[in-house]
Chains A and B, each alone.
Chain A
Amino acid sequence: MSNAPLTNETVHRVSFLDKASLHIPILRILQADGTTYENAVLPVIDKALADKIFDTCVFTRVLDERMLGAQRQGRISFYMTCTGEEASIIGSTAALDKDDVILAQYREHASLRYRGFTTEQFMNQMFSNEKDLGKGRQMPIHYGSRELNYQTISSPLATQIPQATGVAYGMKLQGKRNVAICYFGEGAASEGDFHAGLNMAAVLKSPTIFFCRNNGYAISTPTEEQYAGNGIASRGVGYGMHTIRVDGNDMLAVLAATQQARAHALEHNAPVLIEAMTYRLGAHSSSDDPSGYRSKEEEAKWQQHDPVKRFKLWMVNKDWLTEADEAKLFERYREEVLAAVKVAEKLPIPKLDEIIEDVLDKPTPALRKQLKELKEHISKYPKAYPKSAGRL
């Protein structure tokens, strides 16, 4: 099989390819007014699915608004929103089976919500209290849930990409009819792990969906300083995988593309790359101020492409939703999130004994000694360690 056939025609004068040689269309189903394009092929969707998607959109908007507020008040130390990217994240997750494994980057809490992560669980993680599934070890927004097949977030970028290839390959070996989906931004696609993950998936035939949120910025760096080629989609083609570019602010387009990507991945045991063209309406994180590197006019332009609004108009057009329903939903979630914040921030932090758990499967003798010494020290100076002194 060496030198697998490259179906080349022969030419006899020098002729280079460039990024324009590759025509990559963009899938768009929904128009700005909520009607669909005349010849558009819709995804598989009924009212129940649409309701669930919209519900997740509203919850996510509320969560982002409230938690950014909580960060500004100093109640949590850090936050990241997915404002503007809801269609990319929720539309793709909605196309999956609940046993498909999600390996997210850090901006995909909407996926976790779609799967059923409760408001209380979100708060427990963000407030690092004793109910946090991650035991208070990571910054806010680094969620994970074994039960919901959502692997815990790691801050270093792109590390999840080759891991997704491995997860999906494991599924294949175990005979599961499932895929792994891996989310990342166009910035993370510059990391070496991106190349490694895609190349291995394509060569080893691993049923992985690589989902790129091309949202315009990696912190302050705009796409034109990130890559010079034809976006991220061109690279999928380069690695030999099925690739599609979609309007990332179009819920129906993302849903349709991901449904078919999943079917293809399972049918052919092959990876698929989806590039969703969207825009990060918010800051990179609560530590960032985008006014230093992009204009208000640019942001205002993208406000007009609000993915939640576009999907809402579609539902309203179908008589599946009213403005009153939407207002009620926002109100309900605002109250729910606020109430959950009040509960979560009062719960104690994880017990000190947990500090040495999970380093390895069992604490080593050295760790047990360190904990013992630490406890003795804290007992001597309880006022200096107020969060744990009372719970030794």
Chain B
Amino acid sequence: MAQMNMLHAINEALSIAMTADERMVIFGEDVGHFGGVFRATSGLQEQFGRDRCFNTPLTEQGIAGFANGLASYGMTAVAEIQFADYIFPAFDQIVNETAKFRYRSGNQFDVGGLTFRTPYGGGIAGGHYHSQSPEAYFTQTPGLKVVIPRNPEQAKGLLLASIRDPNPVIFFEPKRLYRASVGEVPAGDYIIELGKAQVIKQGSDITVLAWGAQMEVVEKACERAEKEGISCEIIDLRTISPWDVETIAKSVTKTGRLLINHEAPLTGGFAGEIAATIQQECFLSLESPINRVCGLDTPYPLIHEKEYMPDELKTFEAIKATVAY
């Protein structure tokens, strides 16, 4: 095991995947020699050549369409969208094409070898065009998997699993943790199964559920709550779509309470979907309404970023309120 940050772990996963799969190519804006604006693809062009790791013209729509074509022809395509805020020009190619390739052709064609990697999320003074968390938009579209890691070890294993999954995956990378999150990462090749949530801490009073960069936030909030005698069970959803209903329902059946935290705005956010499902699955076990701590229903503001964020204190207060209901 070696200590590394999340960028390093992602870079290592990409290098391992490319070594194992000669058909894998990586492309996107500035990903070639420069290694991407965050340097996640550093050294890959030197290692694998310009045919397999290259810059594209500046066109997200083009990158996604091109990726669909490549993957439909049996290649393993890993496309980088420089910021998740810039994925929307590619929206049609992703939700109407990527997601429906297999279904519409009666499984004659598919783009299962396609993975989109894209940095998402706030907390970096990026204003609303460098801070959005657009995961919920993609969960409304059947045919896509949506994955978000919380730390370097998870990023490496989940990214390798995403690249090898026989379905298209959108892999959102929490950019504020790129360098900030450092941890032990197993050497060599390993995968973490998609579609499985992970219980990171057992508890008995409330289930606290989040994903990606918000995991650090809820862990800190739960530490505070523990000091006030509240026992929190913490779960990282990891795969947002398709999500692991069973693990969450089992936990909520035990604790009787659920708090969901995400950075995206409250209304229409994925927490709403989870709340509706868990309410149905666990109605008789619930001892309080399912609570959500999310971003505000505004575009992501620059100067009021701190106020906007579903931070540790707001989560802590919501845990207390839910337990005291």
Contact = CB atoms under 8 A, between A and B. Distances in A.
Interface of A: 77-78, 128, 136-139, 142, 154-157, 187-188, 190-193, 218-221, 225-227, 287-288, 292-293, 349-350, 352, 355-356, 359, 364, 366-367, 370, 374, 377-378, 380-381, 384-385, 387-388
Interface stretch (B10-18, B165-173, B193-201, B299-307): B299-307
B187 interface: no
Interface in B48-96: 54-55, 57-62, 85-86, 88-89
8 contacts: A138-B129, A139-B302, A155-B85, A190-B58, A191-B58, A192-B59, A364-B297, A366-B267
Given A190-B57, A292-B34, A137 B302 contact: yes
Interface residues of B, number: 41
B33 interface: yes
A156 B129 contact: yes
Contact of B57 (A128, A225, A374, A385): A225
B58 A387 contact: no
B86 A128 contact: no
B220 interface: no
B61 to A, nearest CB: 4
A128 B302 CA distance: 8
B30 interface: yes
A136 B303 contact: yes
B176 interface: no
B127 A221 contact: no
B296 A137 contact: no
Contacts of A388: 304, 307
> Which 10 pairs show the lowest CB-CB distances between chains A and B?
A155-B129, A136-B303, A220-B34, A190-B57, A128-B303, A139-B127, A187-B58, A192-B61, A77-B125, A190-B59
Contacts of B130: 139, 155
A377 B314 contact: yes
A156 B32 CA distance: 21
A384 B306 CA distance: 9
A191 B267 contact: no
Contacts of B267: 366
Interface string B161-195: 00000000000000000000000000000000000
B89 A356 contact: no
Most buried by A among B37, B57, B314: B57
Contacts of B128: 137-138
A356 B296 contact: yes
A221 B307 contact: no
B62 A137 contact: no
Contacts of B308: 355
Contacts of B127: 137-139, 142, 155
Contacts of A219: 29-30, 34, 37
Nearest to B65: A192
Contacts of B299: 137, 359
B123 interface: no
Given A77-B125, A137-B127, A377 B313 contact: yes
B306 A385 contact: yes
A156 B303 contact: no
Contacts of A364: 297
B141 interface: no
Nearest to A154: B129
A355 B301 contact: yes
B323 interface: no
B317 interface: yes
A154 B296 CA distance: 21
B89 A355 contact: no
Contacts of A156: 85-86, 88-89, 129
A192 B65 CA distance: 11
Contact of B301 (A136, A188, A218): A136
B266 interface: yes
Given A191-B61, A219-B29, A364-B297, A355 B34 contact: no
Contact of A374 (B30, B33, B307): B307
A350 B304 CA distance: 9
B307 A378 contact: yes
Nearest to A218: B58
Nearest to A190: B57
A359 B127 CA distance: 15
A337 B258 CA distance: 53
Nearest to B90: A192
A262 to B, nearest CB: 28
Contact of B55 (A77, A139, A225, A370): A225
A374 B293 CA distance: 11
A192 B89 CA distance: 8
Given A139-B127, A370-B266, A220 B30 contact: yes
A387 B303 contact: yes
Contacts of B58: 157, 187-188, 190-191, 218, 221, 226
Given A155-B127, A219-B29, A219-B37, A352 B304 contact: yes
Contacts of A187: 57-58
A156 B130 CA distance: 9
A363 B274 CA distance: 27
A355 B296 CA distance: 9
B298 interface: yes
B126 interface: yes
Contacts of A139: 125-127, 129-130, 302
Interface string B123-167: 001111110000000000000000000000000000000000000
A191 B89 contact: yes
A138 B302 contact: yes
